[in-house]
Structure 1
């Protein structure tokens, strides 16, 4: 092969490589350089300042807990206590729809975050649905929870210092109301069952007392005492009747059957015997029982029910008092160690840092993509 032929073949072999290099440079400019320049211009000239305000607090319980959490000591995780559960509830509440709706009712949230003075990428569209606004709100708030110490921190971003302070103060108030509500519900749950039991025992005792009162209104204040009185009375009447009968027997031997004195004694004896039958109700001095035994059984049953109801009521009252003491220990409160303060300087956006990070991320992404393309091309060739 001559020297002239070699010089004509080498440029032809370099053409594909030069073409690939041109496409490589062009892709770098389009994928890395140009977006980095545009991002830098946005961060330095267009992006709106964001002020940050927040608070730090912990949900505490009045109940002392002397137990040692061995798992938490080794893992750094909180145990399954109620205060820890309440802390996670508060953490979820900070980014919930309920809090956002309360914030919209108490503060002109959409106007504050949808002002035309805010840059187009950071601005909220006031006409968006609540779900979209909730997604926007989740980007404007950062909440964290340390399970070891039980401390919750939240930071709110806003486009003016006053807005960030006002929103943070409202959120802290909402959280305090939530914790108070959780505490009240916990206390109510502890006391509710015992109060129901006290009401039931009180009703039972009232029914027992009313039953005894109704029983006494029927004329038997104390069936046992009444029975003894009635027995003594009947015994006296029967003794008198016996005397009448003895006198009648004596007179029958000495006078005629139609003698006035004998007729009078017989009439008195008959009247006394009828009176004895009316008052005894079937009870005689020999102790056979008819109506009185049933009264005694009913009265004793009512007395037993009254005694049991009194003891059960006293026990329910003692349980209620213990439950109220325990409910007092279940009380939660918000221990605030950092209150919202008016920010003096916008912390975001971090213009230089974001520009550098954007260029680095785009460069790394472009490099990985280029390596993948070349690997695939070499594999196919």
Structure 2
């Protein structure tokens, strides 16, 4: 028996080495490796059902990502160093993983740098995104069921708080920006309205434009009366003398109408002075400025209210589809699976090495 084993080792050392490796690794997985409990949770992100506003700052900026994008953000935060620091502060993961576990699986030094601790953390916490279902599956490994459950629960709570803080911060920045713009637009609107009122009081006109229209109507009426009296004068001149009382009365009416027309036209337009057309043009400019300021202020006010509604939609609630499981028996390590995979790979490598040795021998011969 010993001689046969010795011949086997001498003739095929690589197969003997492979067999020894398989035995040692199987011994580790089946006998030595310490059991780990896995707490699983499944979550989805939901937002409040608030009606989408027709006009909002976020719509102008291109809107936000979908639910998958938010889930990816949550996943990265759950696996981040910041989350690791929080877990260590509240649960003491350095102590738990260093005091439990076998030689190869435990955290050998509880005072390792945060980078090395994070690498170990990524081997004990797994967060998978199911894009089809739109959910996150969280797996947490611990050496006691209570620790695994507590760690999974804290991950969910801290993840929800983080997503809400992100939504609040973005919404608050949007609202703060619009409120600052509202103050500036309110001052501008007040200034333009005050300038318009001062101009009205200075010239004693509520609406110069309406006054100009009224004077134009008066001038048109006077010109119509002038034309009628001129026609009457021509008719009287055909059979009365120029000194007749009736004809002279008509002439006086014509002269009065002409003077009145000239006076009204002078009110409308003059080369110098405060003519109504100049006053009306300046008034219309001030009125347009006040109207534009009012419309801008109204639009900004509507945008502010809609952005406040949008702020409510930025809140992300981590809805738990599967609450963190309190494990009743250990599921890690997968002893048979790990041993089988290692044995298959080792046999495959030994077979390749055996083929290479045979090829080399054939070339030598």
Q: 3-state DSSP class of the match of 1:221?
A: helix
Q: 3-state DSSP class of the match of 1:114?
A: helix
For 1:349, the equivalent position in structure 2 comes to 333
Superposed CA offset, 1:321-355 (max 9, x none): 33334444454322211111321211112334433
Counterpart check, 1:334 vs 2:337: no
For 1:56, the equivalent position in structure 2 comes to 42
Which of 94, 97, 104 is the equivalent residue of 1:121? 104
For 1:253, the equivalent position in structure 2 comes to none
For 2:293, the equivalent position in structure 1 comes to 309
Quote the RMSD (CA, aligned, Å). 3.7
Counterpart CA distance in 2 for 1:376 and 1:20 is 21
For structure 2, which runs of at least 5 residues remain unmatched after alignment? 1-5, 52-63, 209-265
For 1:223, the equivalent position in structure 2 comes to 203
Cα displacement (A) at 1:210: 5.1
| CA separation of 1:222 and 1:304: change in aligned 2, threshold 3 A | farther
For 1:377, the equivalent position in structure 2 comes to 361
For 1:274, the equivalent position in structure 2 comes to none
- 5 Å matches for 1:72-111? 81-111=65-95
For 2:144, the equivalent position in structure 1 comes to 160
8 Å CA contact 1:202, 1:313 repeated in 2: yes
8 Å CA contact 2:37, 2:330 repeated in 1: yes
Rg larger in structure: 1
Counterpart CA distance in 2 for 1:98 and 1:329 is 26
For 1:26, the equivalent position in structure 2 comes to 13
For 2:342, the equivalent position in structure 1 comes to 358
For 1:70, the equivalent position in structure 2 comes to none
**What is the TM-score with the length of structure 2 in the denominator?**
0.67
Q: 3-state DSSP class of the match of 1:337?
A: strand
Cα displacement (A) at 1:291: 7.1
Counterpart CA distance in 1 for 2:186 and 2:39 is 55
Which of 150, 161, 180 is the equivalent residue of 2:134? 150
Q: 3-state DSSP class of the match of 1:23?
A: helix
Q: 3-state DSSP class of the match of 1:345?
A: coil
8 Å CA contact 2:15, 2:350 repeated in 1: yes
Counterpart CA distance in 2 for 1:366 and 1:90 is 44
How many residues end up aligned between the 2 structures?
290
Superposed CA offset, 1:1-20 (max 9, x none): xxxxxxxxxxxxxxxxxx99
Cα displacement (A) at 1:313: 1.0
- 5 Å matches for 1:177-196? 177-185=161-169, 187-188=171-172, 191=175, 194-196=178-180
Counterpart check, 1:206 vs 2:193: no
Q: 3-state DSSP class of the match of 2:204?
A: helix
Counterpart check, 1:35 vs 2:21: yes
Counterpart CA distance in 2 for 1:134 and 1:200 is 49
Q: 3-state DSSP class of the match of 2:357?
A: helix
For 2:32, the equivalent position in structure 1 comes to 46
8 Å CA contact 1:156, 1:164 repeated in 2: yes
Superposed CA offset, 1:35-68 (max 9, x none): 2222233223322211111211112344699xxx
Cα displacement (A) at 1:185: 4.3
Counterpart CA distance in 2 for 1:297 and 1:86 is 56
